[in-house]
Amino acid sequence: MAIQPIKFSKSCIKTLTAVEADEARSHQHEFQGVAPLKEMFGYAKLTTKATFSIRGSSDSYSADLTWYDAREGNPNRSAEYRLYFQSSPVMEAAQEGDVIVIGYDKNNNIHCELIQSQRLTNQNTQWQISQNTVHY
């Protein structure tokens, strides 16, 4: 539930690009595997459930996540990590410029919390996110 701030033990913040948020631009359902995600998930393939929610809404949805190296089968190219997410009403509501907080809660469950840009004010959001948050 995202009406109250989620207390993350470790998290990172990602501003969504057009290809991550807009299904008309891309059907890939993936976040680019940037350094903070590598720090959180490591380098081994991981498939798990995550809870997706929108800040300010009491609705939450369970969806599959897969962390993987998209170039694993190509030894001539360097690793390119991605975080695949199953479609959900949360990501269907996402737009370019929105922010997603991806992190582990105190029970080691993964949450993906969407903060819609029209609700986003830097000061208002920063105090509600764990000190272990990495911005990218």
CATH number of domain containing 66:
2.40.330.10
* Inside any domain, residue 1: no
Is the residue at 64 inside a domain?
A: yes
Decide if 3 is inside a domain: no
In Å, what is the CA distance from 63 to each residue of 53, 84, 130?
Answer: 11, 10, 23
The whole-angstrom separation of Cα 132 and Cα 39 is: 12
Q: Which residues pair with 84 in a beta bridge?
A: 30, 66
Residue 99 has pLDDT above 70, yes or no: yes
Task: For residue 49, tell me if it sits in a domain.
Answer: yes
In a domain, 25, yes or no: yes
Q: Is residue 32 part of a domain?
A: yes
Inside any domain, residue 2: no
Span 70-80, pLDDT tens digits = 999 888 999 89
Residue-level pLDDT at 2: 52
Q: Structural domain of residue 48, as residue ranges?
A: 8-135
In this predicted structure, the answer to whether residue 132 has a pLDDT above a threshold of 60 is no
pLDDT at 20: 86
Cα–Cα distance measured from residue 54 to residue 39, given in angstroms and rounded to the nearest whole number: 24
The pLDDT, as a whole number, for residue 1 is: 46
Could you tell me if residue 109 is inside a domain? yes
